[in-house]
Amino acid sequence: MKFKDFFSFKMSEIDFPSLALVFLLSGVGLIAIYSATSFIGSEANMQYFWKQIMGIAAGLAMFIMLYSVRKSFLLSYAEVLFIVGVILIIIPFILSTVSSGTNRWINLGAFQVQPSEYMKFILIIMLAKIFSETHRSPLQPGYVLYPLGVLAIPSILVFLQPDLGTTLIYIAIFAAMLFASGYRLYYMFLILAPFITVLAAFNSWVFLVWGVIVAVIIFLNNKNVLFSVGMFLMNILVGVMTPFFWNGIKPYQQQRILTMLNPHLDPMGAGYQVIQSQIAIGSGGFHGKGFLQGTQAHLNFLPEQHTDFIFSVISEEFGFIGITLILFVYCFLVLRWFRMALTAKSTFSAMLIIGGTTALLAHIFINVGMTVGLLPVTGKPLPFISYGGSFLMTSFGLVGLVLNGNAE
106 in helix, strand or coil? strand
**One character per residue 30-69, x = contact with another protein (rule: CB under 8 A):** ---------xxx----------------------------
- The size of the interface with another protein (CB under 8 A), counted in residues, is 60
For 116, 342, 359, 380, the CA distances from 391, given in Å and listed in that order, are 11, 28, 12, 10
Element (H, E) at 113: strand 112-113
Tell me how far apart the alpha carbons of residues 325 and 343 are, in angstroms, rounded to a whole number.
Answer: 27
Asked if residue 118 lies in contact with residue 395, where contact means CB atoms within 8 angstroms, the answer is no
- Confirm or reject binding of residue 358 to another protein (CB under 8 A): yes
Tell me how far apart the alpha carbons of residues 290 and 316 are, in angstroms, rounded to a whole number.
Answer: 8
Tell me how far apart the alpha carbons of residues 291 and 284 are, in angstroms, rounded to a whole number.
Answer: 11
- Confirm or reject binding of residue 335 to another protein (CB under 8 A): yes
- Confirm or reject binding of residue 354 to another protein (CB under 8 A): yes
Apex CA 202: angle with CA 216 and CA 273, to 5°?
Answer: 125
Minimum separation from the CB atom of position 340 to another protein (A)? 10
Interacting residues with another protein between 235 and 274 (CB under 8 A): none
- Confirm or reject binding of residue 75 to another protein (CB under 8 A): yes
Interacting residues with another protein between 131 and 170 (CB under 8 A): 132-135
Rule CB under 8 A: choose which of 78, 125, 151, 176 binds another protein: 176
Residue 228 or 283: which CB sits closer to another protein?
283
Residue 21 or 393: which CB sits closer to another protein?
21
Pairing of strands 106-107, 112-113: antiparallel
- Confirm or reject binding of residue 334 to another protein (CB under 8 A): yes
Interacting span for another protein (CB under 8 A) from 2-10, 234-242, 324-332, 395-403: 324-332
Other Cβ atoms less than 10 A from the Cβ of 239: the count is 23
Alpha helices in 249-298 (DSSP H): 251-261, 270-284, 295-298
**One character per residue 362-391, x = contact with another protein (rule: CB under 8 A):** ---x--xx--x-x-----------------
Greatest Cα pair distance in the chain: 72
**One character per residue 200-239, x = contact with another protein (rule: CB under 8 A):** ----------------------------------------
Interacting span for another protein (CB under 8 A) from 62-70, 234-242, 341-349, 387-395: 341-349
Residue 180 or 403: which CB sits closer to another protein?
180
Asked if residue 48 lies in contact with residue 306, where contact means CB atoms within 8 angstroms, the answer is yes
- Confirm or reject binding of residue 361 to another protein (CB under 8 A): yes
Residue 105 or 330: which CB sits closer to another protein?
330
Tell me how far apart the alpha carbons of residues 359 and 173 are, in angstroms, rounded to a whole number.
Answer: 6
Residue 257 or 374: which CB sits closer to another protein?
374
Beta-carbon contacts of 179 under 8 Å, excluding residues fewer than 6 positions away, are 188
- Confirm or reject binding of residue 10 to another protein (CB under 8 A): no
Rule CB under 8 A: choose which of 14, 62, 323, 392 binds another protein: 323
**One character per residue 178-197, x = contact with another protein (rule: CB under 8 A):** -xxxx---------------
Tell me how far apart the alpha carbons of residues 366 and 370 are, in angstroms, rounded to a whole number.
Answer: 6
Residue 254 or 343: which CB sits closer to another protein?
343
Alpha helices in 291-388 (DSSP H): 295-298, 310-343, 347-371
Q: Is 303 left (phi over 0), alpha (psi -120 to 50) or beta?
A: beta
Beta-carbon contacts of 297 under 8 Å, excluding residues fewer than 6 positions away, are 35, 36, 280, 305, 312, 313, 316, 317
Tell me how far apart the alpha carbons of residues 368 and 312 are, in angstroms, rounded to a whole number.
Answer: 9
- Confirm or reject binding of residue 320 to another protein (CB under 8 A): yes
346 in helix, strand or coil? coil
Rule CB under 8 A: choose which of 173, 280, 313, 377 binds another protein: 280
Interacting residues with another protein between 284 and 313 (CB under 8 A): 284-286, 295-296, 299-301
- Applying CB under 8 A, the residues found at the interface with another protein are 39-41, 75, 132-135, 176, 179-182, 276, 278-286, 295-296, 299-301, 315, 319-320, 323-324, 327, 330-331, 334-335, 338-339, 341-351, 354, 357-358, 361, 365, 368-369, 372, 374
